[in-house]
Amino acid sequence: MDKGYMGKVLWVDLSSGKIDEETIPDSVYVKYLSGLGLGAYLLYSRIPADADPLGPENILGFLSGLLTGTGSLFTGRWMVVGKSPLTGGWGDANCGGNFSPSIKRCGYDGIFFKGTSKKPVYLFVDKGKAEIKDASRFWGMDTVETEKSLIKEADCKKPRVACIGPAGEKLSLISGICNDLGRMAARSGLGAVMGSKKLKAVVLGGAMRIKSHSPDKIKKLSRTCNTATKDQSQFIKGIMSARIGTLMRVLPTQMAMDGKMYISMLDKWGTASMNQISIEIGDSPIKNWKGSNKDFGTEKSELLNPDVFTDSVFVKYHCYSCPLGCGGICSIKGKYSETHKPEYETVLAFGGLCMNNDPDSIFYLNEVLNRAGMDTISAGGTVAFALECYEKGIITKKETGGLELTWGNSSAIVALVEKIVKREGIGDLLADGSKVAAQKIGNNSMQYAIQAGGQELAMHDGRNDPGFALHNCVEPTPGRHTIGSQLYYEMFQLWKKIKGLPDVKFIYSKNSKYLPDREKTIAAAACSKYMNVMNGAGCCLFGAFLGANRLPLFDWLNAATGWEKTPDQYMEIGERIQTLRQMFNIKHGIEPKDYKMSDRALGRPPLEEGANKGRSIDIEKMIGDYWEQFGWDTKTGKPTDACLKRLGI
């Protein structure tokens, strides 16, 4: 088979110990690609509607992308899928690193786990053999210790490991799955599903070749894409980024962002490049979403400037097949010989959101949470929730065990996170995220839990870019920031490849961003469809920022498979995957309108000062218009029979 995909998945029943292969017909890849789409196809029909996400009926799948290992670039993402214990509906998360190609080198597009083991185990696959092995001695270890120990023990060349840490073992609903000593498939709480199955890790050897239809064509396309990635100008100093943000805030007009500019910043600093700009323009929420750049101005954010997080990098970190390398491995004298550079989301979740500008605490928290296997976005959002509850007197020193949870008190924030990781004292209450904690605390505290469908929102404020607000609410995995926004649409430049999509003016009035017009929902639906194709291919979001003309996604897919599909036909596949994920939620009793995000983050009431002053989002209209783009019922969000028939679902 020379089509980029392997045509098989592995099924592991942890209750019975039975391991089977399943051949997947070509027709499934034609309709759903691999990765996220294949995961949705297999799980939709096989997880019963009333399955407990932490019970044996839930299925957890690890999938590679269709393009992974074919010679295409930016295509080293792996995906984990299952019923989310955090939202109760469809759960997925994806991650970079070097784990993804190993799934295919073992001969599979995906490895799926059902049932529950009685004792801790891990799966080892190499040379065509899969074995369930005892993991009792690794249970309790953090993710870094686990990965290092399993690599030492594995009898194969270049073993790759995905594992949980203590957070997943303790069934924290905000736990994720780690690889490469600190990269994490963090969202949807799928680390807890792994913990509930007593599955500590997946260890893969594998040396199979991944064959494509036209490898030479893929190489040629990759060479051109590589040139576009490298063709960057040197950028400014980190400390200057705040000034750029301030300028962007005060100007009444805005320039459409060409993603090449952002790629240049990613190349230099990684996601930390946005630390100060985002605060200044109102992209980054402050003080649990009730503050603004007025509360956390440049004099405070200066200590979080991009250089602070990049100066200690001694080697850039590249995921598999990535020409950019936005990550970094840092060495901090007297503290860590090696630690991953904190990402923008982590810096701002424990920075502006908690009014904390102590970078040492953020480096430390990043390492603690990566080792625990806990989502830094949800953990930061939950800590900000706790700080506000403390401010309002809803929780007191009695509950916190003496911690003074005041805004920006970095030592108390660190101590609280350590308790959350250990589920100790108030940490046990907070270890399942802010919504669950608010349900237990009561006393009107739910208004301070800033989330959508139970998942804490990432550090992108819909009051600055309403596209982020819309995707937080309409994604079948709610609270998702990696699918679409007005900014992403500008950078994706899909109108250059797909007929009929609105283009973006080079200069536009900032006020026009806040009109909930039809063009914006057409753009939002296009982002969703495109990102489902990206996630079926295993492609990194940051590659998409190059623009659809420079990232040859559709051409790579055709060259890998031998298909001759048009960009429109690929977008229809994206639409099918989105619709099936929505159907999964409906099957599991989710009302799509219940995934609406917290009022405060929608500007209800609007902020009285700062970059987002006076703004509120007409989200109900935007949601209805978005659903219409898919042919779903505009009132309920349920795909209509006509839509399902058109898409062949």
Binding site for ligand SF4 (CB under 6 A): 74, 76, 96, 318-319, 322, 324-327, 540, 542
Residue 626 · residue 620 · CB < 8 Å = no
Helix, strand, or coil (residue 125) = strand
Element (H, E) at 246: helix 241-250
Closest by alpha carbon to 442, among 452, 429, 454?
429
What are the strands of the beta sheet with 177-179, ordered from one edge? 129-134, 121-126, 199-204, 160-163, 177-179, 183-185
Q: For ligand SF4, give the closer residue by CB, 124 or 344.
A: 344
- The answer to whether the peptide bond before residue 605 is cis (omega within 30 degrees of 0) is yes
Question: Is the sign of the CA dihedral 313, 314, 319, 323 positive or negative?
Answer: positive
Q: For ligand SF4, give the closer residue by CB, 116 or 232.
A: 232
Least CB distance to ligand SF4 at residue 266 (A)? 6
Alpha-carbon distances of 544 from 73, 116, 320, rounded to whole Å? 11, 38, 16
Least CB distance to ligand SF4 at residue 271 (A)? 8
Least CB distance to ligand SF4 at residue 322 (A)? 3
Element (H, E) at 134: strand 129-134
Residue 312 · residue 332 · CB < 8 Å = yes
User: DSSP string spanning 505-530?
Assistant: -SEEEGGGGGS--HHHHHHHHHHHHH
Q: For ligand SF4, give the closer residue by CB, 78 or 554.
A: 78
Q: Give the Cα separation of 452 and 472 in Å (integer).
A: 6
Q: Give the Cα separation of 435 and 229 in Å (integer).
A: 40
Least CB distance to ligand SF4 at residue 542 (A)? 4
Q: Give the Cα separation of 360 and 384 in Å (integer).
A: 18
Q: For ligand SF4, give the closer residue by CB, 346 or 451.
A: 346
Q: For ligand SF4, give the closer residue by CB, 184 or 326.
A: 326
Least CB distance to ligand SF4 at residue 320 (A)? 8
Helix, strand, or coil (residue 135) = coil
Q: Give the Cα separation of 249 and 610 in Å (integer).
A: 10
Q: Give the Cα separation of 293 and 30 in Å (integer).
A: 48
Q: For ligand SF4, give the closer residue by CB, 214 or 264.
A: 264
Q: For ligand SF4, give the closer residue by CB, 347 or 602.
A: 347
Closest by alpha carbon to 516, among 622, 628, 606?
622
Name the amino acid, one letter, at 471.
H
Q: For ligand SF4, give the closer residue by CB, 14 or 319.
A: 319
Radius of gyration of the chain, Cα coordinates, nearest whole angstrom: 23
Least CB distance to ligand SF4 at residue 574 (A)? 19
Least CB distance to ligand SF4 at residue 324 (A)? 4
Helix, strand, or coil (residue 201) = strand
Q: For ligand SF4, give the closer residue by CB, 76 or 282.
A: 76
Helix, strand, or coil (residue 622) = helix
Q: For ligand SF4, give the closer residue by CB, 43 or 324.
A: 324
Q: Give the Cα separation of 453 and 27 in Å (integer).
A: 33
Least CB distance to ligand SF4 at residue 95 (A)? 9
Least CB distance to ligand SF4 at residue 529 (A)? 21
Least CB distance to ligand SF4 at residue 545 (A)? 9
Least CB distance to ligand SF4 at residue 533 (A)? 16
Q: For ligand SF4, give the closer residue by CB, 150 or 324.
A: 324
